[in-house]
Amino acid sequence: MSHPEKPAPKAVYVKSYGCQMNVYDSQRMADVMGAEGYREVATPEEADLILLNTCHIRERAAEKVYSELGRMRIIKEEARVAGRKVMVGVAGCVAQAEGEEIVRRAKVVDLVVGPQSYHRLPDLVARAGVRPGVVDTEFPVEDKFKALPAASEARTRSRGLTAFVTVQEGCDKFCTFCVVPYTRGAEVSRPVSEVLAEVEKLAAAGVREVTLLGQNVNAYHGAGEDGSEWTLARLLRRLAEVPGVARLRYTTSHPREMTDDLVEAHGDLAALMPYLHLPVQSGSSAVLKRMNRKHTRDDYFRLVDRIRRARPDIALSSDFIVGFPGETDADFEDTLDLVRQVGFAAAYSFAYSARPGTPGADMDGHIEEPLKTQRLHALQALITAQQHAFQESLVGRTVDVLFEKIGRKPGQVVGRSPYLSPVQVIGPSSMIGSIVPVRITGAKTNSLDGVLAADDHMRAVHAAE
């Protein structure tokens, strides 16, 4: 007697744009749908549910989403012709900002969900299956993190040895160029117990390195295990005690929130990596004031000095916006001067683009595009030179490398240095998951070559003999 075949489990494809928080959110969306029986797939053509997790930081972000939705419309139609139903959802910050406009402009979209509501995905998918055009961009009263299902151990293991964990969301700073307060809401912090439970589960699944995420992660003020409000520094000290967690990082920081205890943690915690992303945005105090950053260039210099006194081997990266309304040639020269004085291992730099609804968009003194482009190229040339110099400074040094995967060449394994640089060596695949000393022998723009320090030592012994 033949039995009817069970239907194959449905598949979900999540495409993530923008920041690390979106990567984390995309993973959690996949976890949410995984708990509903969906398997995650690598291409939209394989999926029954396509989710575009969008970012709204850059200009024309919404238009790029609509362009991508044009491709999804073709995929959805081809599936329909083949007798298969595909649903398309837009999530993230463009979803939050555009809302109903997305389903009005793009009929291919079945549901729209903001970054604070993705724990409701199963219900939204069910509703959209009956009547497409569901929109949820509210800021719900319930804590989405408490409502999210835990990822399975198999799913966690499949994501590798490093993991992101969101500990803080939203922003109260209201920089005049930024949409985050409007798309992510006010600053909120997860309780210590929730963060600790998530990190412990990750460590149990083999994760060795955890990066804590937040729009202003160093503004963290979560409820502690003892009932008091914990700072990010105190949270880091607690997480450093979790067995299996060998490395900790955090991003993105605001200079105003680099408290004394957090600076001290960089000097005290071996697990806290000596690489800090500390956005300054401009080297001009006048521009910083118009940006509502609430710090000056001299404040930034003093902060860098404090951090480097606590951790002399620390490397810094940053963010820069050039061509903000009213930026003069002298203001831009102040930015170049700050870069020269501080010295960065890396930096992200952008020409200012007005975001609708932000105060910067309505300011006087907008800069012509050719001048913004000219300034951006000059800044990027300086930053690239500093990045090369930093990479070269590591040649000859021995650094600890967390090996993560097999390399492209035979016998090659690849890991990351404490400074996030990929490091390639010839060695056994059994090193994957281990932290091993490596002597750096060569530097490229974005990666390093090295030899295992143990092999290097043995060669030296044989040469002496």
Answer yes or no: is 55 a known binding residue. Answer: yes
Residue 148 among known ligand-binding residues: no
Alpha-carbon span 235 to 210, nearest angstrom: 13
* Residue 153 annotated as binding site: no
Rounded distance, CA 103 to CA 87, Å? 13
Residue 60 counted as an annotated binding residue: no
253 carries a ligand binding annotation: no
The answer to whether 251 is a known ligand-binding residue is no
* Binding-site residue positions: 19, 55, 93, 171, 175, 178
* Binding-site residue positions for [4Fe-4S] cluster: 19, 55, 93, 171, 175, 178
